[in-house]
Amino acid sequence: MLRESVFSSDDLPAEDRFDAWRERMNSTHAPLRLESERAADFHAHQRLISLGAVSMWPARFEQLVFLRTPRLIRQSDPEVYHLSLLCDGAAKVSWGRQGNAYRAGDFHLNDSSRSYEIWTGRGWTSSVGVEIPKALLPLPQRTVDRAVGRHLSNRVGPGALLSHFLTQLAADTNPYGPCDARRLATVLVDLVAAMLANAVEAENEQLPETRTRVLTLHVKEFIRQNLHDPELTPSRIAAQNHISPGYLHRLFRNGGETVASYVRRKRLEGAHRDLADPAFEGTPVYVVAARWGFPRAAEFTRAFRSAYGVPPSEHRHAART
């Protein structure tokens, strides 16, 4: 499991909750001045998930005003970019003369070296925040500056991939161990860079290795959505992603496996999970296999035994007992 800490205002007396939340925000992002109509009995919940130098924090909180002032910047500047995915609620953000309004499904970007004010709605706000040290984001400063204040949507392009990554990781960190943290941080930073560059039409400013990793993530997401299709061949994958088969194979060769072996591994992992899931207890093994792109039962059994050392039926029985 990834390293994380949890803050819950319900663990504290009502009179201490708002001050404790202010301290939590100061240590999570940067020193802030906070105001709220609910300060006398404030409610908030946050999970701080550590990915090494990068962190993310799913949070839910009541009406708030966040102020990052010039004085606070002079006192302390951790030199980080903060990106928030607004999941529920609404917010308005001002950077001096520049401002924008955001709703659920929008990202907004802040720079700890710039003053800003954020007003959330009167109800509850739910968001996923990301903290990235400036030195780690592979984009020129001018590109990031142009992204501050823009609408960054989670509905299309790199924003959709980033949103899926954040919400899936926030929902369940159990499958990942401490050794995965750095690799997950690399993926997260690359997706953020791709979304920001895309938003300011500056893809050409991305580093070549970032473009390659983002393309690989696009391809893998396409594969994930089509694992059920037994005709998911390298040629089809390449055509659907507008690249040549040769380039597709080079993308996967950099990761140490072939396209076909990656597809087979993800299919087997899906079938392995389903066979151990009580929800599929009454589903025949061959039906589970077909759901994951194995139309021939004998071929599935051979592949499963080769990968896990036992036949599918034995794995299912062991999971039950």
Going by pLDDT thresholds of 50, 70 and 90, the confidence category of residue 281 is confident
Q: Which residues contact 72 (CB under 8 A, 6 or more apart)?
A: 30, 31, 32, 33
Q: Which of 264, 292, 296, 262 is nearest to 277 (CA)?
A: 292
Distance (Å, whole) CA 296 – CA 230: 10
Question: What is the pLDDT, as a whole number, of residue 177?
Answer: 86
Q: Which of 64, 82, 189, 191 is nearest to 129 (CA)?
A: 82
Looking at residue 40, the DSSP 8-state letter turns out to be: G
What is 4-207's CATH number, 2.60.120.560, 3.40.50.720, 3.40.190.80, 2.60.120.10? Answer: 2.60.120.10
| Neighbour-count burial of 281, counting CB atoms closer than 10 A to its CB (0-12 exposed, 13-18 middle, 19+ buried) | exposed
- Residue 56: pLDDT over 70: yes
| Neighbour-count burial of 266, counting CB atoms closer than 10 A to its CB (0-12 exposed, 13-18 middle, 19+ buried) | middle
Matching fold, domains 4-207 and 226-321: no
- Residue extents of the structural domains in the chain: 4-207, 226-321
Q: Is-contact 119 125, C-beta < 8 A?
A: no
* Digit-coded pLDDT (tens) for 299-308: 999 999 999 9
The pTM (predicted TM-score) of the whole model is 0.75
Looking at residue 122, the DSSP 8-state letter turns out to be: S
Going by pLDDT thresholds of 50, 70 and 90, the confidence category of residue 207 is low
- Residue 35: pLDDT over 90: yes
Q: Among the listed ranges 32-36, 203-207, 301-305, 312-316, which one has the minimum average pLDDT value?
A: 203-207
**Other CB atoms closer than 10 Å to residue 247's CB: what's the count?**
12
Question: What is the pLDDT, as a whole number, of residue 206?
Answer: 59
Q: Which of 168, 138, 144 is nearest to 49 (CA)?
A: 168
Distance (Å, whole) CA 64 – CA 238: 47
- Residue 50: pLDDT over 60: yes
Question: Above pLDDT 90, what percent of the chain?
Answer: 71
Q: Is-contact 177 1, C-beta < 8 A?
A: yes
Report the top-level CATH class of 226-321.
Answer: mainly alpha
- Residue 134: pLDDT over 70: yes
- b/e for 54-64, b at 16 or more Cβ within 10 A? bbbbbbbbbbb
Q: Is-contact 65 36, C-beta < 8 A?
A: yes
Q: Tell which wins on pLDDT, 299 or 206.
A: 299
Report the chain's mean pLDDT, rounded to a whole number.
91
